[in-house]
Amino acid sequence: MDKSANDMIVSKTRISGAMHDPRRHDSAHKHVAGAAEYIDDIPEPQGLLHVGLGLSDRPHAEIIDMDLSAVEKAQGVVCVLTAKDLPGVNDISSAGIGDEPLFADTKVEYHSQIIFAVVAETRALARSAARLAKITYRDLPFWTNVRDAIAADAPNVCTPMTLQRGDVKEALARAKHRITAEMEIGGQEHFYLESQISMAIPGEDDEVSVWASTQHPSEIQHIVGHILHIPSHAVTVFQRRMGGGFGGKETQGNAFAAIAALAAKKLNRAVKIRPDRDEDMAITGKRHDFVTSYDIGFDENGMIEAVDATFAARCGFSADLSGPVTDRSLFHADSSYYLPNVHLVSRPLKTHTCSNTAYRGFGGPQGMVLGERLVEEIAYALGKDPLDIRKANFYGQPGSGRDVTPYYQTVEDNIILRVVEELERSSDYRARRQAIIDFNKKSRVIKKGIALTPVKFGISFTLTSSNQAGALVHVYQDGSVQLNHGGTEMGQGLYIKVAQVVADVFQIDLERVKITATTTGKVPNTAPTAASSGADLNGAAAFNAATQIKDRLIAFAAETFKVKPEEVEFLPNRVRIGDEEIPFGELAKRAYGGRVQLSAAGFYKTPKIHWDRAAGRGRPFFYYAYGASCTEVSIDTLTGEYLMERADILHDVGRSLNPAIDIGQIEGGYIQGLGWLTTEELWWDNKGRLRTHAPSTYKIPLASDRPKVFNVALTDFSPNIEETIGRSKAVGEPPFMLAISALEALDMAVASVADYAACPRLDAPATPERVLMAVERMKAVRSGQ
């Protein structure tokens, strides 16, 4: 049946796909069928060329000589590009610092750094030719990890940050109990299913169009412009969907897009670049590793009196996003706890490794792990249940005197105690913990553990200028709607959520809203889709655009039908005007005939936020998202192997825009966090080579690694107190930290070997090897009792 605007079947009760409805991902059926089009699926233009990369095989060295003659003569090679071929600046750094060359020229600073690019008729020929280069190096000293960087007195890649309040030295000195220790927190590979990829097609004059797998089309636009020495208006970037991002495509796609565009303009032919998995993992940045040192003072009741901690990070050879990442680790070092006296310092250290970058949580998970470790230390020292220590140290309600963070933001929306206590009841935590203690007394080989941990995660970019978004909405004469905005879709469900917002404004079925690819040619100057803010920012911008059109339609209807504006009401798929009802499409057609503008550009900027980094004071976050998880594990004390027996999660998403999408994000976030804290280990050898560069050596969780029992629920009592779109809350990053309960549960299982007499201090990732070594330490503790 024809469903044009004027004769479509009209729902009289409720639209399909309004805000807050559980709807499937807009591309879910295409994902399953293999019909979703990614960049490598786009039909190849005639004459398409391919790129292979020439990479450094030294971690730190001067380039003495580079003979590329064999490369240039190889079969199928069209040209070879080096730093000398750049019309613009040889820099792809995110902040324009000038510390990240597109092509290494006189010096390489990590193994697998890009030195040149080969453009050939096929991908295989390009990659084969790239291996024929003869490069002479003069080796320089190098270090690849945090401890070696500290020993070498390595420089910082950016300015460190300090957060402080109170008199920490005095409070530590007078504390009845005091513990000083260290914790290593590992990094993580993004392991997106679609590798980095870009395709560029040259246009007339200085124009170039770029299809890039990126979370930040505007940055790709800027970088390509700088490399080619052309203005931004000559560069148009397109992005329909990514096969995963997780932060790894916020800045790391810059090099690939720039090389494709450079080759395309030089040769006046379409060019595509797609590294294989090994190259992608060796070239691109990862989650930052940290070595954290901490000094904590507390009283006999477990109340924290003072914390002094340093977060030293492996940042790689350039700054990239290490400044804001290490900043956020400090922002979240308090986890959910009030710290009356606190001194936190970041050390963003230079290492001769790929430049580490954004990753889901953006430094927050590393800070929060340390915050939870502090609680564990106190609990084991006093012989108490860690949950009791947690609840005693939670932030208080506004006005309690215990409601201000180390960066002087008041926690105004605090629901953490309620979230934790509800999960404590629903998961039957207390009874299960006692049952586990009883089990551990009887079982010699298999030991169990359980932990319940909170999440309090700040939502907003800490770079205030990034907290803005634009959208473009068109209403056509048949009542169908086209939507475009600056957010990018990487599988997280942003597109469907924003479409639901627009459908809700017009009260039309979701199927009437067409989602279109993100492009700098429609919505300019976009922020990256990151910091969990995609739906907040782009949803609000789309709401603004749709509301502009709606207001025009109301004014037109009121004037045309001679009624008051308040007598115009948008009902499901129709509009009531006085005593008359007409289909939405009919109103749109009449408005066009009345010369009413049916297109609008929307805009939104996050209110209330401000931040003074030098002073360490401000309100960097618009609001907080909360959650709690309870995980039960069992370990084999003979091998260190373990199983995730059960996980219970209660998470706060405000009033969910789409509960189906949000629950999926929570489940996925927990599993990804579980991988980070257990199986995913990055390892560089003594030649500076990343050896965990493929699925054969780098272990992400499998479906079989998920908890045997996995219960996830959303809070039903926490609409956002701030005026976010639909009173919803962000859900991208906060669930990632729910997995910390698994690490703490492993700690408990290990601690049972010594009858819980000491904190096992498991480093992350808690691989079976590390668990086994911790078991042996606990045996030594037990034998010394």
What sections of 16-81 are H helices per DSSP?
A: 28-33, 69-73
Write phi, then psi, for 19 (nearest 5 degrees): -55, 145
What is the spatial distance between Cα 331 and Cα 782, in angstroms, rounded to a whole number?
A: 37
Q: Which two tokens stand for residue 712?
A: 């996830």
Helix (H) or strand (E) holding 137: strand 134-139
Strand 61-67 with 107-108, pairing: antiparallel
Q: By C-alpha distance, which of 598, 581, 576 is closest to 589?
A: 598
593 CB-near residues (< 8 Å, 6+ apart): none
Q: Which two tokens stand for residue 371?
A: 């915050």
Is residue 115 within 8 Å of 54, Cβ to Cβ? yes
Is residue 190 within 8 Å of 248, Cβ to Cβ? yes
What is the spatial distance between Cα 406 and Cα 394, in angstroms, rounded to a whole number?
A: 14
361: how many CB neighbours lie within 10 A of its CB? 31
Q: By C-alpha distance, which of 455, 449, 506 is closest to 481?
A: 506
What is the spatial distance between Cα 664 and Cα 652, in angstroms, rounded to a whole number?
A: 14
Q: By C-alpha distance, which of 206, 750, 216 is closest to 463?
A: 216
496: how many CB neighbours lie within 10 A of its CB? 24
What is the spatial distance between Cα 214 and Cα 358, in angstroms, rounded to a whole number?
A: 13
Is residue 555 within 8 Å of 564, Cβ to Cβ? no
Q: By C-alpha distance, which of 556, 548, 555 is closest to 601?
A: 548
Catalytic status, residue 569:
no
> Helix/strand/coil (H, E, C) string of 266-310?
HHCCCEEECCCHHHHHHHCCCECEEEEEEEEEECCCCCEEEEEEE
Which residue is associated with the tokens 């230079």? 350
Strand 513-515 with 481-485, pairing: parallel
Is residue 128 within 8 Å of 148, Cβ to Cβ? no
What is the spatial distance between Cα 445 and Cα 478, in angstroms, rounded to a whole number?
A: 70
Q: By C-alpha distance, which of 610, 734, 618 is closest to 672?
A: 734
Across the strands, what pairs with 290?
185, 313
Cα distances (angstroms) measured from residue 607 to each of 172, 354, 530: 38, 36, 18
Catalytic residue among 733, 744, 769, 776: 733
What is the spatial distance between Cα 146 and Cα 594, in angstroms, rounded to a whole number?
A: 67
Helix (H) or strand (E) holding 743: helix 740-751
In one letter, which amino acid is 255? A
- Helices H / strands E in the chain, number of each: 19, 29
Is residue 185 within 8 Å of 764, Cβ to Cβ? yes
What sections of 521-642 are H helices per DSSP?
A: 534-561, 584-593
**Catalytic residue numbers, as ranges:** 733
